[in-house]
Structure 1
Amino acid sequence: MCKVEAAYRAGPGSKLSVDTDFYNSLKEGGVKRTLVETVKVPMRSGKAWEVPAGHVFRVRVPEGPQVGDFNMWNKHDPRERMWASRTRQMQRAHVSIHDRLWSTLPFLRPMVTIIDDSLAEYGQDAEGGRVHDLLGTRCDPYVNRLLTGEDFDFHCHSNLVRAVLPYGLTEFDVHDVLNIFQCTGLNEDDKYFMKACPAKQGDYLEFFAEIDLLCALSCCPGGDLSVDLWGPEAKDPLSTCHPLEVEIYKLEASALEDWEEPKSAGYAGGHGLSASNVDWEAKKKALPSN
């Protein structure tokens, strides 16, 4: 079977092109880094934190396997936030080293670049599962009510809502997530599946902040997802739950001498408002024939 090319491909000078040598140099052991803060995310809870542009933050597993649902905003303008679906198109459905997480329109710029991943070698397992997915989104009390007829407040959506309230954000600001350490894929019926998290104590995913960020992470109440959350085999997965941690590092200034904060996409058009009477049929007829 021939390989089908991706729809979104980098052209000359494209922002999809990544200076891999630069980002590799930022890994632990490459440049001097100073730990400035450690954020502990308790089991079945959520936390938010700020990261200045040019800093590195690491989401790590301090005890046992655990999935984390991640959100991200421009610290100065929360209308600019992580765009999971466009990132999925421009990068991949499961992200790892050198992939970027992109922001929403009209900004459309990389918010972070992944620089290290202890699970990078996991690849694709025998059932088609991969880690760090953008395929699914957060669990929430609304779908739980829909599926079970019961109310349960401690879902990733609710954890993220509580985490961002002190920063002036609300439920309406919480958005589709990056599922860190989560193993997922599409089955033979093209339906989303989740597997037990393969992360072990000490595993991590590390990001370089391209802009000033507000981040939030939910320590999923589903734990490592080894227990069914819905359906006939469902039971409380409390025994599989563990905490997560986030470490924030400042890099030595010399490491960032040639780095610049990415600019927005810069579309200068008017969405066709001044050209609503374009005769597309005439333009189509004027095209050269194949």
Structure 2
Amino acid sequence: MKLEKGEGPEPLDSGARRKIPPVICYPTDSLAPPDLPAYRAARDGWQKVDEVIVPPRDARTFEVPAGSFFRIVSIEGPQVGDLNLWSMQDLKERFFSGKTRALHGTHLSTGDRLWSSLPYLRPMATITQDTLDWYGFDEWGGSVHDVIGTRCDPYTHRLLSGHDYHHCCHSNLTRALAHRLHRPLAEVEPAVHDVLNVFMCTGFTRDTGQYFMKASPVRPGDFLEFFAEIDLLGALSACPGGDCSSEHSSDVAACHPLLVEIYRPKAPPVGWVSPARSAYHGGHGEEAPS
């Protein structure tokens, strides 16, 4: 007979097993930290070269050259955004939320980097300022800017509700990328990937371990600022859940636009070099390629 979760017999040494201390899976001591003072100094005299308004329950794309900055800004009311990033030169290189989470933790803030997918594995962008870094972790274990959720999508919505909804963030990002590239939806959809949930306040329940969301603390004027380490194509969806205080696929929730601003510095940060892709040769245990 199969035991239900939590019904297994507890061994005599259960207490000792639970007290075994954890080990960090990916210690990052060997990684050179970003030179935040140099990044911030590069903002002196920078020029705003573009801006994109992302309408509620929709998405837009934008470009950021390597060595430039971009900000995601709350402008009218509390609103969550779902961010995708790709290399401008190769859409196969895209933001890798899972490895970013493994390296930096469940929620990102100033000094953390957004890493790209295998086999590239290099920093795509560095967070240089976060006006919500004061939030930290609340009493429920919630925090902002998570890399633990995926993105609301019409497939899960259909699975759980039995209905179709076309303005989930996955669909918004798919439409935006298709319009940008002038390619069919079905052709670009596989390039849409797990996101950085900008401004979203999330965590895991202590009792059941379920992913939760709560009202975002973001207010007009708050922003998350990035430095582009490589040439980037970005897409941002203004989530149909608004501040995600109740649900994240909704035509009822109060939703607001988001603003993306792109800034070009007079000169790149002192000592900065755009990172190269991973130096791993790709042999995977076989003879290294010539």
Structure 1 length-normalised TM: 0.86
C-alpha displacement of 1:240:
1.7
User: Residues 239 and 7 of structure 1: is their aligned pair in 2 closer, same or farther, counting only changes over 3 Å?
Assistant: closer
Q: Is the 8 A contact 1:226 1:240 kept in 2?
A: no
Contact 2:79 2:199 (8 Å CA) reproduced: yes
- Could you tell me how far 1:134 is from its partner in structure 2? 0.3
2:199 corresponds to: 181
* The one of 189, 195, 201 aligned to 2:220: 201
What value does the CA root-mean-square deviation take over the aligned residues?
1.9
Q: For residue 248 of structure 1, what is the aligned residue in structure 2?
A: 262
Aligned partner of residue 86 in structure 2, secondary structure = strand
2:90 is matched with 77
1:48-127 superposed matches below 5 A: 48-127=61-140
Q: Which residue of 2 aligns with 1:264?
A: 277
Distance 2:211 2:138 in 1: 15
| Shift of residue 266, structure 1, vs aligned partner | 0.5
**2-structure distance, mates of 1:38, 1:172:** 27
Distance (Å, rounded) in 2 between the aligned partners of 1:244 and 1:2: 45
Deviation per CA, 1:42-63: give whole Å up to 9, x if none.
Answer: 0110000111000000000000
Alignment deviations for residues 186-216 of structure 1 (CA, whole Å, 9 cap, x no partner): 1021110011111001110000000000000
SS at match of 1:240: coil
Per-residue displacement from partner, 1:142-175 (whole Å, max 9, x unpaired)?
1110011011111000000011113336111000
Contact persistence 1:56–1:207 (CA under 8 A): yes
C-alpha separation in 1, matches of 2:120 and 2:76? 37
1:229 & 1:111 partners in 2: Cα distance? 27
- Give CA deviations for 1:202-253 in whole Å, capped at 9, x if unaligned: 11000000000000000000111122358xxxxx453421110000000011
Structure 2: any 5+ residue segments left out of the alignment? 1-18
Residues 11 and 203 of structure 1: is their aligned pair in 2 closer, same or farther, counting only changes over 3 Å?
A: closer
Question: Take 1:224 and 1:3, find their aligned partners in 2: how far apart are those partners?
Answer: 37
Counterpart in 1 of 2:10? none
CA distance in 2, matches of 1:57, 1:257: 19
- Structure 1's unaligned 5+ residue stretches are 231-235, 276-290
Q: 3-state SS of the aligned residue for 1:217? A: strand
After the TM superposition, which residues 159-238 of structure 1 pair with which residues of structure 2 at under 5 Å, given as runs?
Answer: 159-168=172-181, 170-188=188-206, 189-229=208-248, 236=250, 238=252
Indicate conservation of the 8 Å contact 2:82/2:236, yes or no.
yes
Give distance in 2, aligned partners of 1:48 and 1:196.
26
One-letter amino acid of the counterpart of residue 191, structure 1: Q
Q: CA deviation at 1:24?
A: 3.7
Aligned length, in residue pairs: 264
CA distance in 2: counterparts of 1:69 and 1:141, whole angstroms = 15
CA contact (8 A) 1:227 1:237 kept: no
C-alpha distance in structure 2 between counterparts of 1:131 and 1:237, whole Å:
23
Q: CA 1:2/1:271 → structure 2, altered by over 3 Å: closer, same or farther?
A: closer
- Aligned pair in 2 of structure 1 residues 139, 8: CA closer, same or farther (>3 Å)? same
Identity %: 48
Structure 1 residues 116 and 136, CA gap change in structure 2 (3 angstroms): same
Structure 1 distance, partners of 2:89, 2:44, is 28
Secondary structure of the 1:81 match is: coil
Distance 2:53 2:220 in 1: 15
1:269 to 1:142, Cα distance in 2 relative to 1, 3 A: closer
Matched, 1:137 2:150: yes
The Cα of 1:11 is off from its aligned counterpart by 4.2
TM-score by length of 2: 0.86
- Give the aligned partner of residue 45 of structure 1: 58
